[in-house]
A and B are shown apart, each in its own frame.
Chain A
Amino acid sequence: MTRNILVIDDDPDLRETLVLLLADHAVTVTAVGSGREGLSVLAEGSPPDLILLDLMMPEMNGWQFLEHVRADAALASIPVVIMTAHPAVDPLPAPVKETLRKPFAGATLLATIARHASPG
């Protein structure tokens, strides 16, 4: 079963890379460049199985995006994995399940997705 993932990262090359890499592993990726765009994607379509979220972004960063998600009951149950150059944040704020510390390997990414995204 195909998993659907929302990627929010301001680096266009990383977005394209994730789309290509995950397509090889039966993961459908919608990729946007800011928290604001992420929120409009979530408002339009059906909820993804997982959100991969960058933290440092212009025009609504990851933390601000998480505040909006937490405040919306329909979105607060979607698991989120943070992708960041900073070491893990402790404790992780809900609904963040895990931190992927950049740079991370493809195998690590796939294992993390398998752990947290139940295909629906």
Chain B
Amino acid sequence: MPSGEQDERLGEQVLEHVAEIAAGRCSITDATIAAEPDASSQEILAGLLMLHEDLEYGRLRQVTLLQDLRDAVRARDEFLSVASHELRTPLTTLGLQIDGLPRALQQQMGPLPENVSRRLGLIGRQVERLSALVTSLVDVSRISSGKLQLSKERADLVEIVRAVAERFGDDARRSGSALVFEGQGPIWGEYDVSRVDQVATNLLSNAIRYGLGKPIAIGVAPDGDRSRFWVADRGIGIPPEHQTRIFQQFERVAPATSYAGLGLGLWISRQLVEAMEGTISVRSEVNAGSVFTVDLPRGA
């Protein structure tokens, strides 16, 4: 065979083999290499065979790594789920004991001295905080495993949000922020009351935490067949480049050394709002404050 034709045949053969290798197959064997008439062709085919083996090894390794990664994520989620459930039982007992303590003490000693009731109040608030943290761990594990369930009922959104604002009255006062509620009801719709409460609670506790003691507004308004509530603070604000990141899991913009938190609240809020077919968004400016807005369908 003239060498030009031979080169052309080898060239075609190489292209075919490359296409095969790219598709994850290989028909080159030691026998096909040995059958090649000259040493340089044998070398080319042997090189292709090695390339195929390297790629196969890489592919297998990738599959193993991916499986390892999935196993690790599953182990993390299972651990979160078990740990958070385990934590809830002692917290229940602790919380109930503290709830009952003022009454039990008053029955024994009459009206409680100021310093005792202040301490009891403080212990109670810390237990509530612990409970909220544990609840967010439970929620993460339920959301990650796709087990989040909503239970909607006919309710007034104004009342749900107003109740959250009232609950935070003391916290806001302690932080120095004046808390204003804006909204006239009712706005009836089909809402998962406890989940809407949870989102509003999260946004308001963030506003108090990052609000620098300046005024905070929480409001509700109807919007056609939808409804909206918002929490506006005048605190530290969020730089534009971080405004998407804050809705991701374990992400926090404020330094963990200065501000408490697990970095889960806004991620959970977004997951809950999206499960309710709503949206959550933020407008913010550094040192001017943040406005978080939740838009929800009124459902039916």
Q: How far is the CA of A11 from the CA of B96 in the complex (A)?
A: 14
Q: CB distance A87 to B92 under 8 Å?
A: no
| A-B pairs under 8 A by CB, number | 63
B189 proximal to A (CB < 8 A): no
B206 proximal to A (CB < 8 A): no
Contacts of B16 in A (CB 8 A): none
B197 to chain A, nearest CB (A): 13
Contacts of B99 in A (CB 8 A): 21, 105-107
Contacts of B149 in A (CB 8 A): 87-88, 90
B214 to chain A, nearest CB (A): 30
Sorting the interface of chain B by its residue count into under 10, 10 to 19, 20 to 34 or 35 or more gives 20 to 34
Say yes or no: A14-B93 contact (C-beta < 8 A), given A85-B85, A85-B138, A88-B151.
yes
A interface, by DSSP: helix, strand, loop or mixed? loop
Which of B100-108, B251-259, B279-287, B291-299 is the interface stretch? B100-108
A44 proximal to B (CB < 8 A): no
Q: How far is the CA of A4 from the CA of B218 in the complex (A)?
A: 43
Q: Would you give the 0/1 interface string for A1-39, flagging 1 where the beta carbon is closer than 8 Å to chain B?
A: 000000000010110011011001000000000000000
A68 proximal to B (CB < 8 A): no
Say yes or no: A103-B131 contact (C-beta < 8 A), given A21-B99, A21-B100, A88-B151.
yes
Q: Would you give the 0/1 interface string for B201-233, flagging 1 where the beta carbon is closer than 8 Å to chain A?
A: 000000000000000000000000000000000
Contacts of A90 in B (CB 8 A): 149, 151
Q: How far is the CA of A14 from the CA of B85 in the complex (A)?
A: 15
Q: Would you give the 0/1 interface string for A55-94, flagging 1 where the beta carbon is closer than 8 Å to chain B?
A: 0100000000000000000000000000101111010000
Name B148's closest neighbour in chain A (CB-CB). Answer: A87
Q: CB distance B92 to A14 under 8 Å?
A: yes
Q: CB distance A103 to B85 under 8 Å?
A: no
Name A92's closest neighbour in chain B (CB-CB). Answer: B151
Name B99's closest neighbour in chain A (CB-CB). Answer: A106
B270 proximal to A (CB < 8 A): no
Q: Would you give the 0/1 interface string for A93-112, flagging 1 where the beta carbon is closer than 8 Å to chain B?
A: 00000000011111101000
Q: How far is the CA of A88 from the CA of B151 in the complex (A)?
A: 9
Q: How far is the CA of A86 from the CA of B127 in the complex (A)?
A: 19
- Select one of A86, A88, A109 contacting B96, CB under 8 A: A109
Contacts of A88 in B (CB 8 A): 149, 151
For chain B residues 52-105, which have a beta carbon within 8 Å of chain A? 84-85, 88-97, 99-100, 103-104
Name A110's closest neighbour in chain B (CB-CB). Answer: B99
- Select one of A14, A86, A106 contacting B89, CB under 8 A: A14
Contacts of B85 in A (CB 8 A): 56, 85-86
Q: How far is the CA of A21 from the CA of B96 in the complex (A)?
A: 7
Q: CB distance B92 to A20 under 8 Å?
A: no
A88 to chain B, nearest CB (A): 6
Name A13's closest neighbour in chain B (CB-CB). Answer: B93
Q: CB distance A17 to B96 under 8 Å?
A: yes
- Select one of A11, A20, A85, A103 contacting B95, CB under 8 A: A103
Say yes or no: A105-B95 contact (C-beta < 8 A), given A85-B88, A86-B85, A88-B149.
yes
Name A18's closest neighbour in chain B (CB-CB). Answer: B96
Contacts of B95 in A (CB 8 A): 103-106
Name B85's closest neighbour in chain A (CB-CB). Answer: A85
Contacts of A24 in B (CB 8 A): 100, 103-104, 107
Ordered nearest first, which 9 A-B pairs have the shortest CB separation?
Answer: A106-B99, A85-B88, A103-B92, A21-B100, A103-B91, A85-B85, A102-B88, A102-B92, A14-B93
Residue pairs across A and B with Cβ atoms less than 8 A apart, 17 shown, are: A11-B89, A14-B96, A20-B100, A20-B104, A21-B96, A24-B103, A56-B85, A85-B89, A87-B138, A88-B149, A103-B95, A103-B127, A103-B134, A104-B95, A105-B95, A105-B96, A107-B99
